[in-house]
Structure 1
Amino acid sequence: MSKYSILLPTYNERENLPLIVWLLVREFKENGHNYEIIIIDDNSPDGTRKVAEQLQQIYGEETIVLRPRAAKLGLGTAYVHGMKHATGDYIIIMDADMSHHPRHIGGFIDLQKKHNYDIVTGTRYSKGGGVHGWDLMRKLIRLDYMIVLVLYLVVVNSRGANYLAQVLLNPGVSDLTGSFRLYKKAVLEQLVAKCQSKGYVFQMEMIVRARQFSYTIGEVPIAFVDRVYGESKLGGNEIVSYAKGLLHLFATT
């Protein structure tokens, strides 16, 4: 039986972690899949690690694998760290803030099995997908100056950032900036070895590199919901990283 390793990078997700783990456990048990949940906490000051330890006591060490780090080192490196400890044939990456609902995972697995895809990615921008919980400011994408537009799109509207990347990179998928995906483990290992990005742009580069290697990619519509607890991790550093990363990929791919 195939095994699935779910990587959950966390930073200040004390309120969200118990619910996302419960939903993951329910999803995998109901569908009879072999799985493990790997929590990579970056020394969260809100006590996320303590909550993760309590969840491990409840569900067991085979189900909840704790692989904390000493500091906040970036999303890309968190996946690298978690992948080193993954024992599954497939790896699922997702956010721990309840933006990605585990109910979609069954669709990922079914589609991958049907077509033997190397990667299955969730998309907010095809029929059946969507974004919920954003206010007007997060949906507004029209500004007068291009440089301000680029920065604004990254800060407040992932649809706009995705559209900009689509125009420049032509990746062949509808949601380039999404972060809810299933990979064959060997595929993820090769892509991570080639990727240079470590922040927000990491997800985008993974798909661009996958196309370079001619990996097959399937898409599943998902409903993306803005976080209920806590604050967004997207800040000034991520804005600069996105702009630099997008230009680098445009110049080198």
Structure 2
Amino acid sequence: MLAISKSFYSLILTWCCIFVLIFYVVYVLEESNSNETDLHFHKTLLMAEENNKYSILLPTYNEVENLPIVVWLINRHMTEAGHDFEIIVIDDGSPDGTLDAAKQLQKIYGENKIVLRPREKKLGLGTAYIHGLKHAKGNFIFIMDADLSHHPKFIPQFIEKQRERDYDLVSGSRYIGDGGVHGWDFKRKLISRGANFLTQLLLRPRASDLTGSFRLYKKHVLENLVGNCVSKGYVFQMEMIIRARQFGYTIGEVPITFVDRVYGESKLGGSEIFQFANALLYLFATT
């Protein structure tokens, strides 16, 4: 009886060892397959990132002094970060020689980096983006001011933010983190804060800065947005964010410091404020 009992327990122990061994082998194989899948995913993601090209749209009007500086800064920061890029200059018939300056920059940096797409006269910001998009080779599009209000040093941060969660668009914000404004008097800061407060209250856009114009878009997203926006001028930027929310696009934000234009005069005036008020009421009624 004792011999049978020992034999039985030996058999049970043997089978337990076999089950443990089988479980271990299956576990190792699953982990190996999982690691290979993760490795393949990360390799695919890395290859996609390496193939990304960024088209930077620069609508210009009387920016002959600012353009050479902003182009130099963009080239510096994009080259240091190792990103493939092109700068598309859309000049709206500037009488100050901006287009001539752009042609000289094209000779310096090359036609593959500086793309000139001028227009005969001032036709508006929204149409400038549409015009630039037609010629953009990148799968990502930056829009920014050419007057040095938006420092190109923030561009790599936009790219990093976009990659965090594959955002459809990333917007620069003056109202989060260490973002802010330099060079504005109290009156203009008050107008900006008031406008932003009203838009947040009435439109609930899920973005902290609606009127800023420093943004990164997936190309197909920007194409869809500009095709559905009806506003003109600076309120065009506000409608873009509202439409993005309406279409369910994901929005990331990067804190930026906005600096009032270095050379020349600010283009913000009473007509822009009136346009903003009209656009706010229109978007409130239609979204």
Alignment gaps of 5+ in structure 2: 1-50
Match of 1:182, SS?
Answer: strand
Q: Deviations over 1:99-131 (max 9, x none)?
A: 100111111001111210000000000111111
Q: Which residue in the other structure is 1:145 paired with?
A: none
- Pairing 1:211–2:261 present: no
Q: Deviations over 1:67-124 (max 9, x none)?
A: 0011111111111111111010000000001010011111100111121000000000
Alignment gaps of 5+ in structure 1: 142-152
Q: Which residue in the other structure is 2:275 paired with?
A: 241
Q: How many equivalent residue pairs?
A: 237
Match of 1:52 among 84, 102, 124: 102
Q: Which residue in the other structure is 2:231 paired with?
A: 197
| Aligned equivalents of 2:188, 2:222: Cα separation in 1 | 31
Match of 2:69 among 10, 19, 29: 19
TM, length-normalised to structure 2: 0.81
Residue 138 of structure 1: CA displacement?
A: 2.4
TM, length-normalised to structure 1: 0.92
Match of 2:179 among 115, 129, 133: 129
Q: Which residue in the other structure is 1:150 paired with?
A: none
| Aligned equivalents of 1:238, 1:221: Cα separation in 2 | 24
Identify the structure with the greater helix proportion: 2
Residue 235 of structure 1: CA displacement?
A: 2.3
Match of 1:242, SS?
Answer: helix
- Pairing 1:3–2:53 present: yes
| Aligned equivalents of 2:215, 2:175: Cα separation in 1 | 15
| Aligned equivalents of 1:137, 1:162: Cα separation in 2 | 14
- Pairing 1:70–2:120 present: yes
Task: Flag as ranges the 4+ runs of structure 1 deviating above 4 A.
Answer: none
Residue 239 of structure 1: CA displacement?
A: 2.1
- Pairing 1:105–2:155 present: yes
Match of 2:196 among 146, 151, 162: 162
Residue 160 of structure 1: CA displacement?
A: 2.2
One-letter amino acid matched to 2:105: L
One-letter amino acid matched to 1:114: E
Q: Percent identity?
A: 70
Residue 236 of structure 1: CA displacement?
A: 3.0
- Pairing 1:29–2:40 present: no
Residue 233 of structure 1: CA displacement?
A: 1.2
Match of 2:141, SS?
Answer: strand
| Aligned equivalents of 2:271, 2:134: Cα separation in 1 | 27
The CA RMSD measured in Å over matched residues stands at: 0.9
Match of 1:221 among 246, 249, 255: 255
Q: Which residue in the other structure is 2:134 paired with?
A: 84
Decide which structure has the larger Cα Rg and report it.
2
Q: Which has the higher contact order (CA 8 A, sep 6+)?
A: 1
One-letter amino acid matched to 2:246: Q
Q: Which residue in the other structure is 1:144 paired with?
A: none
